[in-house]
Amino acid sequence: MTLTAIPPSERLADLDGLTPLTETTTSPDPASVYERLRARWGNVAPVLLEGDVRAWLVLGHQELSTLLRNESLFSRDSRNWGIVASGALDPTSGVGAVLAPRDSVYYVDGPQHRHLRRLVDDAFEGFDEHRLAATVRQWCESTLDRVAARGEADLVGEYAWAVPLLAMSTMFGLGPDEATAMLGHARRIFRSRGAEGAEALAAQKTLIVDLVARRRAQPSDDMTSVMLRHPSEPSDEDVQSAVSTMLVLGSEFEVAWITQSLRLRLTDPRFDGRAGGRLSASDTLEAVLGSIPPASNTGPRFALADTILGGRRIEAGDALVPGILGASAESRATEDDIWLEPGNLSYLTWGAGPHACPVRRPARLIAQTAVEVALLRLGGVTLTVTQDDLHATGTLWSSMPWQLPVRFEVPRHPRAGRP
């Protein structure tokens, strides 16, 4: 493939004919979108986040590694984004709501990030895998109980969206009704725009503020209490930040991972035991990470100084989006079998550098349990639409079908009580 060189003197603001970033998550053939972007722009391509809000999409493996690992040059804090610093970003827009500055482990750098990250790392270092697995299984069973009598369901809206956030909310100490409310707020945050999304964020914050205050007064054995007991003596605001990040920001990608894994089990004979497939749920999860990762793109970094990356001129204040799927595809030989390749590049999904994902083990446990329980409970499950009808309806960051409509035999397994 021949790359079209663009003079480094060309600024992001001066480039025309830019591709919306959502094309990388909504196209039925994202590889063709990346190929087109790379052919025109190289490994660092200008894209549109929303309206005329511009960013660079980093599509090369080497460039991505530089972006993720160099905190001194590329910041996660959107206070360093030129349009935020100038007041030009509409805080009620979809991009504004998600990328507005926050004092959160996900959004800050340096000593503050390391302090907040220690809270998360130490809390999950000793987390009880058996307890989490049991909690996830209870929510899986309880959620499927609600659709069992019908013999049909949407495995995205009625299952994949529900289980991860309900399970993690329980682990952090929210009661069942509060966990259900948190799920509703999260759905609104990721699917709404403007005032509705802002209201959902405020309601989610209220739940977490109340939770931290209760656990400060009456500690328990949940993850929130573990963080509050941390030797660094975190403030309530520190713990609120950590809980919010784990519950809300990670849920979109966990939902996409479960959804794409279930889709694969239902459409690819290599993963479908009914058709002689021998690959396990764990194999399926790994295949998804290496081919259609839950995070096609992840949260932007913001340049702290003028630099050159991938031959492009990056100015201080520019936003750069890590293109996880694009970089993974760029670094694989085209003839490789990305479904079955044992050494695929799924690690890119988890990031690198200071902001690498801190919860790989619980994320994998939740996803694997959700896939296994669904396939066990829903005997004879089949899609009620063709594979071609499973259109990706992505956000800026993830790609998955919004629906997996299925029909199944009425399950014979005993019901589990609600958590």
pLDDT classification of 9: cutoffs 50, 70, 90: low
Q: What is the pLDDT of residues 226-247, one digit of tens each?
A: 999 999 999 999 999 899 888 8
Whether 43 and 59 have beta carbons less than 8 Å apart is answered as yes
Of 190, 124, 153, 122, nearest in space to 365 by CA: 124
Please identify which residue in the block is written with the tokens 């603001």.
13
Q: C-alpha distances in angstroms, 15 versus 11, 38, 214, 238, 246?
A: 7, 15, 52, 40, 37
Residue 341 confidence (pLDDT)? 43
Position 273 scores a pLDDT of: 59
* DSSP collapsed to 3 states, 36-87: HHHHHHCCEEEEEEECCEEEEEECCHHHHHHHHHCCCCEECCHHHCHHHHCC
Domain assignment of residue 7, yes or no: no
pLDDT grade for 369, boundaries at 50, 70 and 90: very high
Q: Using CA atoms, how far apart are residues 71 and 145, in angstroms rounded to an integer?
A: 46
232 found inside a domain? yes
| Of 28-37, 143-152, 307-316, highest mean pLDDT | 307-316
The residue segments making up the domain with residue 275 are 12-407
Q: Is residue 2 part of a domain?
A: no
- Asked whether residue 99 is domain-assigned, the answer is yes
Domain-embedded: residue 6: no
Residue 344 has pLDDT above 50, yes or no: no
**146 vs 418, more confident:** 146
Residue 288 in domain: yes
Task: Compare 293 and 161 and report the one with higher pLDDT.
Answer: 161
3-state secondary structure of 16: coil
For residue 3, is it within any domain? no
- pLDDT(87) > 60: yes
Under the banding of pLDDT at 50, 70 and 90, the label for residue 274 is low
Nearest to 348 by CA among 302, 299, 296, 310: 296
Q: Would you state the structure tokens that stand for residue 147, as one six-digit string?
A: 């659709």
pLDDT category of residue 136 using cuts at 50, 70 and 90: very high
What is the number of domains present in the chain? Answer: 1
Residue 56, CA distances (Å) to 49, 93, 241, 300, 318 in order: 10, 19, 28, 9, 8
Confidence band for 334, pLDDT divided at 50, 70 and 90: very low
Residue 99's nearest CA partner among 113, 110, 88 is: 88
Selection from 263, 313, 310, 317 nearest residue 285 by Cα:
263
**306: nearest Cα among 73, 77, 84, 66:** 73
What pTM, to 2 d.p., does this model score?
Answer: 0.87
Asked whether 383 and 267 are in contact (CB, 8 A), the reply is yes
Three-state secondary structure readout of 171-182? HHCCCHHHHHHH
Q: Is 132 helix (H, G, I), strand (E, B) or coil?
A: helix
Between 380 and 140, the higher pLDDT residue: 140
Class of residue 341 by CB neighbours under 10 A (exposed 0-12, middle 13-18, buried 19+) = middle
Domain-located, residue 168: yes
- pLDDT recorded at residue 69: 92
Q: CATH number, domain at 104? A: 1.10.630.10
